[in-house]
Structure 1
């Protein structure tokens, strides 16, 4: 196994001090000629020198690492977001640690503490629980030891920057599309234990109110953001008189489809279906799902911009906390037809 090349070895070859070599390789200001700079970098490249990030962190007081906590990395939406965010972090010279809370708010608190102890410069947090977060998590956020940006889900009254999509608008657009196609008995499968789910349900109600049609409270079905939960909710839909379904996440939609197919039902022949996230667009499914799209690339751009504004602030005071609300959009495919 090859040994790592040290600054001292490079310094001996170029005939300069290790401190001079360190300044050049870290792009720090120093009075070293262009020729010596060129020579140092040439030798470092030849010897395949890899900087000691731990030592650099001690000097710079930055680890150049960030953390991302998500509730369910198996979710297409969160895995796609994590991938896009990791690429952007790497392009900016940061490593991203991706951690999974399994949808448990006490795990959020443990993972935040772990990332702080590991020296993360900042944290992206997709909270497992928006309505009743773990008290220890709230203490950590209020302590402000490292900057935290809440992504997709917002904990009310928690300090920190926030970026999310307008879930109420998304629920409205999905339901309005089904109403415009003539449906009046629309099953809404939502997670009312979360602010996002409640907002999407509020959007459903707004669409019915604007259409002057009665909203069927008996067609609101509770589901967490997992395929199995969506499948269980669909068992009740099959026993109802619904003609259309609004599934408030792609995982819920996939669970609904699994149940419908088990009952010999087909989309859009028997039920029209609008999903949410549009992260299952590449799934091998016919017909392609009409869905509310949340652009993960746009979300990653805003999240990283907000966090780096804190991490890289020169005077340590980048300004008041900011909340950004992004608009989702309806992507029409083939899963909706007239009743």
Structure 2
């Protein structure tokens, strides 16, 4: 492996001081002629000089890195969010540390501390537990020395910029779609331990009310955001008189499909199904899922805009709470009720 080229070696070849070379290569203001600037950059390019980012960070007091913490990187929604954010970071000259908390507030606190100690310039957090967040995590987030943007899920009491989709609207649109197709016995598979899940269930109930259909608590089934949990909840749906299912995440919907298939049931022949997130749109199964789409690209754009604004503007401004509108994507998993 070739030895790393240093500023001193470039300085010796062009006959200038290492500090002058450093100023030019870091695009810092200096009284150096255009000819010498050209020579410095030509030598640096020929020798394939790579700046020492650690030393540059000490001078600039910026690491050009951000940190992202998600609850479950195996989730298609969170992995897509991580990919979109990483692309945007690169476009703005930042590297992104991506961390997985395994749905643990304690792990989140450890990862927050780790990233801050690594010198990140800002944090993006999708918290694992909105309602019963660990007190130590709340304290750590409330005293962060760097900007924080919370995405999708929020912890009350932590002042920061936020961006999310309107989950209540999403729940309403999903349920309204099934009601429009004549279904009134609609099972709701939902994670009520999260604010997003509760909001989606509120939208579900509001849609029923708007159609004059009485809500039935016996048709609400608890499910965490995992395929196995969705399958287990669907076992109980099969014991009910439901003709349709609103699955409040794609993983829950995939679990529902797995369970229905195991019992010889088919969508939409036996049950109509609306999913949430639309991150499984390219999955290799039939039928294609009607789903509530949360545009991950738009979510990432807003999160990056908020974080960069906070990093680049030293004067404090009021924290923003951005609420984005989801949309219904109609596919083949919903059919009119004929029984």
Please classify the TM superposition score into its range, dividing by the shorter chain length: over 0.9
Q: Deviations over 1:109-148 (max 9, x none)?
A: 1110110111111100000000011111110111131111
Cα distance, 1:105 vs structure 2: 1.1
d(CA) in 2 for partners of 1:167 and 1:301?
Answer: 19
Structure 2-normalised TM-score? 0.98
d(CA) in 2 for partners of 1:34 and 1:255?
Answer: 64
d(CA) in 2 for partners of 1:168 and 1:57?
Answer: 43
Q: Secondary structure at the match of 1:187?
A: strand
Q: Secondary structure at the match of 1:146?
A: coil
Cα distance, 1:287 vs structure 2: 1.0
Cα distance, 1:317 vs structure 2: 2.3
Q: State the number of aligned residues.
A: 337
Determine the structure 1 residue equivalent to 2:319: 321
Determine the structure 2 residue equivalent to 1:286: 286
Determine the structure 1 residue equivalent to 2:250: 250
Mapped contact 1:64–1:95 kept (Cα < 8 A): yes
RMSD after superposition: 0.8
Cα distance, 1:318 vs structure 2: 3.4
Structure 1-normalised TM-score? 0.98
d(CA) in 2 for partners of 1:62 and 1:214?
Answer: 57
Determine the structure 2 residue equivalent to 1:332: 330
Cα distance, 1:175 vs structure 2: 0.2
Q: Deviations over 1:245-299 (max 9, x none)?
A: 0000011111111111111111000100000000001110111100000000000
Q: Secondary structure at the match of 1:115?
A: helix
Q: Deviations over 1:302-325 (max 9, x none)?
A: 001111111122xx2230111000
Determine the structure 1 residue equivalent to 2:191: 191
Q: Secondary structure at the match of 2:270?
A: coil
Determine the structure 2 residue equivalent to 1:5: 5
Determine the structure 2 residue equivalent to 1:267: 267
Q: Deviations over 1:190-248 (max 9, x none)?
A: 00000000000000000011101111210101011111111111110111111000000
Question: Structure 1 stretch 28-37 or stretch 199-208: which is displaced more?
Answer: 28-37
d(CA) in 1 for partners of 2:247 and 2:3?
Answer: 55
Q: Which ranges of 4 or more aligned residues in structure 1 deviate by more than 2 Å?
A: none
Determine the structure 2 residue equivalent to 1:19: 19
Q: Which runs of 5+ in 2 are unaligned?
A: none
Matches within 5 A, 1:1-339: 1-313=1-313, 316-339=314-337
d(CA) in 2 for partners of 1:181 and 1:64?
Answer: 51
Mapped contact 1:186–1:216 kept (Cα < 8 A): no
Q: Which runs of 5+ in 1 are unaligned?
A: none
Mapped contact 1:170–1:200 kept (Cα < 8 A): yes
d(CA) in 2 for partners of 1:266 and 1:48?
Answer: 60
Cα distance, 1:5 vs structure 2: 0.5
Q: Secondary structure at the match of 1:280?
A: coil
Mapped contact 1:309–1:318 kept (Cα < 8 A): no
d(CA) in 1 for partners of 2:81 and 2:144?
Answer: 25
Cα distance, 1:36 vs structure 2: 1.2
d(CA) in 2 for partners of 1:250 and 1:212?
Answer: 28
d(CA) in 1 for partners of 2:209 and 2:329?
Answer: 23
d(CA) in 1 for partners of 2:103 and 2:21?
Answer: 47
Q: Secondary structure at the match of 2:112?
A: helix
d(CA) in 2 for partners of 1:215 and 1:180?
Answer: 16
